[in-house]
Amino acid sequence: MAMKRFALTVTLLLPLVSTAQIPDGYYDPAQGLSGETLQWALHGIIDNHTVKSYDYLWTAFYTTDDRYGNKVWDMYSDIPGGTPPYLYTLGDDEGGSAGGEGEGYNREHSWPKSWFGGNVSPMYTDLFQIVPSDIYVNNRRGNEPYAEVGTTTWVSQNGSRLGYSITPGYSGKAFEPIDGYKGDFARNYFYMATRYKGEDSGWPGSAMTDGADLEDWAVDMLMEWHQSDPVSDKELDRNEAVYDIQNNRNPFIDHPEYVQSIYSTSGVEHGVMPAVLSFRTSPNPFTSTATVSYGFAFNETVSLYIYDTNGRMVCTLLDDSPASAGTHQAVWTGTDQNGESIVPGIYFAVLKTPTDNLALRMVCVSH
């Protein structure tokens, strides 16, 4: 799947205020490792999390999946950068049954519970794979694997699709979330495969999984989803909120490069890794200074520009500059090419590599 291309008229990632707060030394046991050795090290780091009750999940959603002032962030109904067909109020619209979309939200096991044996702790209440979702869409998805859908039997109001897979390696019935959230679900699955590695005795599995291990076709597809939909501010915020509740983190949100390090030792075994693993700005909105963060799996040549809403280049932060693999930052002081302060408004940070163009919407509220 191709990385979304830049267009000034499209907001690719939502402007949220977010900062990652990884505890000092949290990932030290994983330093310098790769492959299954890295996965086992990460398992040891995130294992034995604090387990909450199933009823508590309703309360957890108030911090893990809140938006727009007490509204529910439902990835099965949201339209990133657009207007969702419906919005739920936390608490008021929870639970019950539904004969159609827009009648309420419930607790969706994105990794279906039947795959690990039902109401079995701690998987049954692990917030890194449980998300709020429209009741009706949840029911239509059922226990079907995620996959790219060809022949479609049903489409939700936000464009999620139920039908038959055209993903190489699997041709059965499947559910395909929209592109804007495919990376979120992929990182949920990489978390589950790592958190429960070696703890999956008796798991029934599925067409997508062998116990907690992902089938090869699923790894290929989820890596593409992970690559084409990089970590968003929404995920960073959610990672912090779940950490506050469970005392463990999703390593693949904190360190997107771990996916490639675990599942492909050659860098091409499961497809060609695109340049950009992460791309975000903080704070957003900003007043006088904004930090643009970006990460690569391999050494790259990168350009980073700021544009206004009329498509005019405001300033150049980087121009065909070499960047090593890993995470980098560039600071914009809110000035144009001539050193003059910008006026408050909407701007776009545009990241370019030889293979990818990406844009982030930025909001300057004062200067």
Q: Are 80 and 10 in contact (CB under 8 A)?
A: no
- Residue 354, pLDDT > 60, answer yes
The DSSP annotation for 58-88 comes to HHHHHHHSEETTTEE--TTT--TTS--S--P
- Residue 332, pLDDT > 50, answer yes
Q: Give the pLDDT confidence of 198-219 residue by residue, as tens digits.
A: 999 999 999 999 999 999 999 9
Which two tokens mark 74?
């439902």
Which two tokens mark 47?
């294992």
Q: Give the pLDDT confidence of 47-76 residue by residue, as tens digits.
A: 999 999 999 999 999 999 998 789 999 999
pLDDT recorded at residue 347: 87
pLDDT (average), residues 236-258 = 96
How many residues would you count in the chain? 367
pLDDT recorded at residue 367: 62
State whether the Cα torsion 267-271-275-280 is positive or negative.
negative
- Residue 122, pLDDT > 80, answer yes
pLDDT (average), residues 244-262 = 95
Lowest mean pLDDT across 61-65, 111-115, 228-232, 277-281: 277-281
- Residue 16, pLDDT > 70, answer no
CATH fold, domain 276-364, is: Immunoglobulin-like (2.60.40)
Position 190 confidence tier, pLDDT thresholds 50, 70, 90: very high
- Residue 356, pLDDT > 80, answer no
What does pLDDT average to over the chain? 87
Q: Give the pLDDT confidence of 81-104 residue by residue, as tens digits.
A: 889 999 999 999 999 899 999 999
- CB-based burial label for 85 (10 Å; 0-12, 13-18, 19+): middle
Identify the three-state secondary structure at position 259.
Answer: helix
Q: Where in the chain is the domain with CATH 2.60.40.4070?
A: 276-364
- Residue 9, pLDDT > 90, answer no
The listed range with the strongest mean pLDDT (124-128, 343-347, 354-358) is: 124-128
DSSP label at residue 222:
H
